[in-house]
Amino acid sequence: MAHRLNTNKQFMVGNGILAFAVIFVVVIFVYMSLRLDKKKDEDRNFIETYTITLTKGFVGDSLSLMINDSVLVNKKITEEPFSIDVKRFAEQSALLIMDNETEKLSLFELSERGGTYRFEKENEEVKQLSQK
């Protein structure tokens, strides 16, 4: 009698080997992506600074100055020009100037190279002046 091939058994063994190979590849990719995330999460130090100056029209206003989600100043402006220096702490930054009484928000994008930013308020509207 001739020996018959057990095709079902061969098919199942082949599928099992293929499944282990797929699982192995997925584990390798997950491990590599976790290693890359750890390198990105390390504290990154930036040398750039932002100088923010409120030049005209802000005296007597209660303002909050924020970069991204960090509050820098939350007080009533008593003198002009009001200036603050902030070290860059994120890849991308945006300055938010909020009038605490009216809750009007002004949003300005900040450069990755740092710099000096000057603002003035005219007719309840905050405007960015040209950089020096």
Query: At 116, which CATH number?
Result: 2.60.34.20
Among candidate residues 126, 83, 82, the one with its CA nearest the CA of residue 107: 126
- Structural domain harbouring 107: 49-129
| 75 and 53 in a common domain | yes
Q: For residues 38 and 52, what is the distance between their CA atoms, to the nearest angstrom?
A: 33
Domains of the chain: total: 2
| 91 and 120 in a common domain | yes
Q: Please tell me the predicted confidence (pLDDT) of residue 39.
A: 59
Dump pLDDT digits (tens) for 5-14: 678 888 899 9
| 115 and 74 in a common domain | yes
Predicted confidence (pLDDT) at residue 2 exceeds the cutoff of 70: no
| 21 and 2 in a common domain | yes
Sign of dihedral through CA atoms 89, 59, 79, 127? positive
Residue 122, token pair as written in the block: 């005219």
| 81 and 65 in a common domain | yes
Dump pLDDT digits (tens) for 49-92: 889 998 888 888 888 899 888 888 888 988 888 899 988 888 88
What value does the mean pLDDT take over residues 122-128?
86
| 4 and 38 in a common domain | yes
Banded model confidence at residue 103, pLDDT cuts 50, 70, 90: confident
